[in-house]
Amino acid sequence: MGAAVAAVDLPRPDLWRRLVPDVRRYAGTLRVPVQSEDSREIEERAGADLLHDLPRIADWIESIEGPLVLGNYVYADGATNLRLSAATDALTERLLRRRDDVALAYLATPTDVFVVPREAVEHSQERFQGRRARLLSAGVRMLSLQSLYRPGYTSGAGEPGITDSVVAQQGPNYLLAKRIHRWRATSARAAGTQVAFGVAPPTRTRSVVKNRALAAAYSGAHRFGVEVFEPATSNTLMAALLVYDLCAGIPAREHPWQDEAAHAAHGGLWRTGYDPRSVLGVAAVTGLAARH
């Protein structure tokens, strides 16, 4: 898109060898931290570790002139993910304290708990009450003692709903790491900072498909009206929404949940007729059967 990007990733030449050719092929400018100023190729010297080089990274980013958008897209497996989230939040706090031209950008996971608009609740309830859905699920719901095929929402007329799409297999470290992002986004927005917060769609990322149960559930999700995106599609969509938020500005809303729900790309999770967790196992079984 022609942006000027300051990129932080690990000091591993294999990572930069994949990225640098794209930079040279497309529009835009890439700025990277380097380990040394010798004559080796940039791929051999680029990178920094947020967990161990945080002060140096903070100094480097703080020295970049002009308006800055700090995009928090870090990920690692297990407890390291939580440590990374804490490190980037410390970086965020320092930049907000020392600069007045910083905007924040986050991608929220769709597998979390959200308050959703009333129109999504009504759509879900209509789907749950549909004839085909009733015939399919009523008997199974009874036999499973109401653990399967539960309705997506129980809120009354005129009220927003709460969707719980947490996937236990992703673990508590993942959920808490993403929750830190949401807390910081809400706090910063309340303090007057520009925040681009986007709920990203379910996506076949490496971290998901390497978990066999999640990969199977994603393969069967379409049976319940949930669209799982390819990584390239999600990247393009969320980049476009980021640019829109930064250029068009985000109107002031009464409640933080409305900021999170604005143009959320939830892939249908908020509008499926069933509580997502009550059909996760069914989706996994059907997805596994389809894959084999």
pTM for this predicted structure: 0.89
pLDDT at 209: 79
* Residue pair 165/269 in contact by the 8 Å Cβ criterion: yes
pLDDT at 278: 86
Structural domains of the chain in order of their starting residue, each with its CATH number: 49-291 (3.40.50)
pLDDT tens-digit map of 13-34: 999 999 999 889 988 899 999 9
pLDDT at 145: 45
Residue among 75, 19, 12, 72 nearest 46 (CA): 12
Could you tell me how many residues make up the chain? 292
At residue 23's C-alpha, the angle toward residues 21 and 25, to 5°, is 70
The neighbouring-strand residues paired with 33 are none
Residues in the chain, pLDDT under 50? 143, 145
pLDDT at 206: 84
Q: b/e for 96-121, b at 16 or more Cβ within 10 A?
A: beeeeebbbbbbbbbbbebbbbeebb
Element (H, E) at 77: none
pLDDT at 287: 79
